[in-house]
Amino acid sequence: MKYYVIAGEASGDLHGSNLLKAIKEEDEQAEFRCWGGDLMQSQGATIVKHYRDLAFMGFTEVLLNIGTIVKNIRFCKADILAFNPDVLILIDYPGFNLRIAEFAHENSIRVFYYISPQIWAWKQNRVFKIRKVVERMYVILPFEKDFYARFNVDVTFVGHPLLDAIQTFVPDSEFRQRHGITNQPIIALLPGSRKQEISKMLPEMLQSIKSLDTCIPIIAGAPSIDPAQYQEWSGGTQVKVISGETYQLLSHSQAALVTSGTATLETALFSVPEVVCYKGGQLSYWLARRLIKVKYISLVNLILDRMAVPELIQDDMNARKIEQTLSTLIQEGKERTAQLQDFSELKIKLGGPGASKRAAQDMVMRLMKS
């Protein structure tokens, strides 16, 4: 069968690649045409657009790039019709994907949605469009099933695909040696995957750890960002950047500073104590405060429904507060112990590995029945 898959971010590329791998096990004749990245391409997909050309962050950034977004939507619609897939599989990325879902539905193309948009956080009215144009929604967070049930939408909870990715991960015992890293504790800096967010997060992160001279800061470089750009954002501070090895970095880290997003959950699943950081443009932040309907910005806290990891947002995300918070997590103590205990509970709530396989089996079964 022919599958048209759209993922617009690095995390979507990761989860999409695992889903494609699982689909191939169920459908040996599977043909994939995708919007995604290198990981999806490694599973045999033809990549139409790379996610690095699609990521626009925040309200103002979207407005500034509206012309490009409209062109991408128009191109995508034409490309789908030309490919004529058996199913359109959408992975998160709601602003773009929900428009494409509506178009596909109008053209009698089946629509499966893997990894629900975070409509429980804001724009909850999107649930009505999903109910109308999406044939099947696959959710990965335990509380999402209850959210959809409030709107009479039956969804399939498959568990979180990060558990699949981390289960197959093998730490490299030569990691420090390969990168010339001493035996000092490592502080992983995960400032995000988009240029707009990195430029806001990284300078404050680096400033905060200047006094922690017993530790080594290392930046987890995003695959889509030129490593040289990190030196520009670091304001002359010489700091090591390791790209494409975030899991290796986390597996060797003592603690981490993490921009809100999927990385907060990845860090927790590697049992690395963390401080969650977020700073956006003033207009974007002002609008977000009035629209977002959740108590926390990190997935860890949302899933556990309590402040398990500290969140430093906007004005609170400054070097002094980051340093104060991080210093309590580096050494053994009650704050570090509490986070590690919470991470154990988190893993239980997310269920076991196998999300990609469960989603793929259900998708292929539904396609075969028709």
Is the pLDDT assigned to residue 291 strictly greater than 60? Answer: no
Report in angstroms the alpha-carbon separations of 104 from 86, 108, 250, 321: 11, 6, 40, 48
pLDDT confidence bin for 284, thresholds 50/70/90: low
- The one-letter amino acid at 9: E
| CA geometry: angle 229, 317, 259, nearest 5 deg | 55
Residues 339-362 have a mean pLDDT of: 93
Coil/strand/helix, residue 345: helix
Q: Tell me the pLDDT of the chain averaged across its residues.
A: 90
Range of lowest pLDDT (126-135, 177-186, 218-227, 331-340): 218-227
pLDDT confidence bin for 330, thresholds 50/70/90: very high
- The one-letter amino acid at 31: E
Tokens of 262: 């999927």
Amino acid 281: pLDDT: 62
Amino acid 64: pLDDT: 56
Is the pLDDT assigned to residue 234 strictly greater than 90? Answer: no
> Could you tell me which of 254, 249, 227 has the C-alpha nearest to residue 238?
227
Find out if CATH 3.40.50.2000 is the number for domain 2-160+354-369. yes
Surface-to-core class of residue 18, CB atoms within 10 Å of its CB (0-12 exposed, 13-18 middle, 19+ buried): buried
pLDDT confidence bin for 237, thresholds 50/70/90: confident
Contact between residue 326 and residue 275 where contact means Cβ atoms under 8 Å apart: yes
SS3 percent helix, strand, coil of the chain, rounded to 5, is 50, 15, 35
> What distance in Å separates the CA atoms of residue 320 and residue 212, rounded to the nearest whole number?
12
pLDDT confidence bin for 89, thresholds 50/70/90: very high
Residues of the chain with CATH 3.40.50.2000: 2-160+354-369, 175-349
| Strands (DSSP E) found in the chain | 2-7, 31-36, 46-50, 87-91, 111-114, 136-139, 156-157, 186-190, 216-221, 240-243, 255-259, 274-278, 311-313
Output the pTM of the full model: 0.79
| CA geometry: angle 263, 182, 203, nearest 5 deg | 45
Amino acid 147: pLDDT: 92
What are 304-319's pLDDT values in tens digits?
999 999 999 988 889 9
Percent of the chain past pLDDT 90, that is, above it, reads 66
Residues 214-236 have a mean pLDDT of: 86
Q: What is the CATH number of domain 175-349?
A: 3.40.50.2000
